[in-house]
Amino acid sequence: MKLIFEKGAPDQHLSLLPACDVPEVSFKEERALPLRLPHVSENELTRHYKQLSDRVHGMNDGFYPLGSCTMKYNPKIDEELAALPGFTQIHPLQSAETAQGCLEVLHTMEKNLCEITGLDAFTLQPAAGAHGEFTGLLLIKAYHVHHKDFARTKIIVPDSAHGTNPASARMAGFDVVNIPSGPDGCVDLEALKAAVGPDTAGLMLTNPNTVGIFDKNILKITEIIHKAGGLCYYDGANLNAVLGVVRPGDMGFDACHLNLHKSFATPHGGGGPGAGPVGCKAELAQFLPGPQVEEKGGKYKFVTPKYSIGRVRGFAGNFDVVVKALCYLLTLGKEELPHVAENAVLNANYMMARLKTSYTMAYDTFCMHEFVMSLEGLHKETGIAAMDIAKGLLDHGIHPPTMYFPLIVHEALMIEPCETESKEIMDEVCDVFLQLFEEAKTNPQALHDAPLHTPVRRLDEVAAARHAIVRYNFD
Ligand X SMILES: *Cc1c(COP(=O)(O)O)cnc(C)c1O
Chain positions contacting ligand X, by CB under 6 A = 68-69, 128-130, 162, 164, 206, 210, 235, 237-238, 259, 274, 276
Q: Are 209 and 185 in contact (CB under 8 A)?
A: yes
Q: Which is nearer to ligand X, 63 or 134 (CB)?
A: 134
CA distance 102 to 79: 16
CA distance 24 to 21: 9
In angstroms, what is the minimal distance from the CB of 472 to ligand X? 30
In angstroms, what is the minimal distance from the CB of 266 to ligand X? 11
Q: Which is nearer to ligand X, 99 or 210 (CB)?
A: 210
Q: Are 201 and 228 in contact (CB under 8 A)?
A: no
Q: Which is nearer to ligand X, 161 or 430 (CB)?
A: 161
In angstroms, what is the minimal distance from the CB of 128 to ligand X? 4
Instruction: Report the SS3 class of residue 39.
Output: strand
Q: Which is nearer to ligand X, 233 or 433 (CB)?
A: 233
In angstroms, what is the minimal distance from the CB of 174 to ligand X? 17
In angstroms, what is the minimal distance from the CB of 69 to ligand X? 6
In angstroms, what is the minimal distance from the CB of 74 to ligand X? 15
Residue with nearest beta carbon to ligand X: 129
Residue 470: phi and psi, rounded to 5, are: -110, 10
Q: Which is nearer to ligand X, 137 or 237 (CB)?
A: 237
Contacts of 149 (CB under 8 A, 6+ apart): 229
Q: Which is nearer to ligand X, 270 or 298 (CB)?
A: 270
Q: What is the CA radius of gyration of the chain?
A: 25
Question: In terms of Cα–Cα distance, which of 460, 396, 459, 453 is closest to 65?
Answer: 396
Burial 353-366 (b: 16+ CB within 10 A, else e): ebbeebbebbbeee
Question: In terms of Cα–Cα distance, which of 404, 412, 350, 345 is closest to 378?
Answer: 412
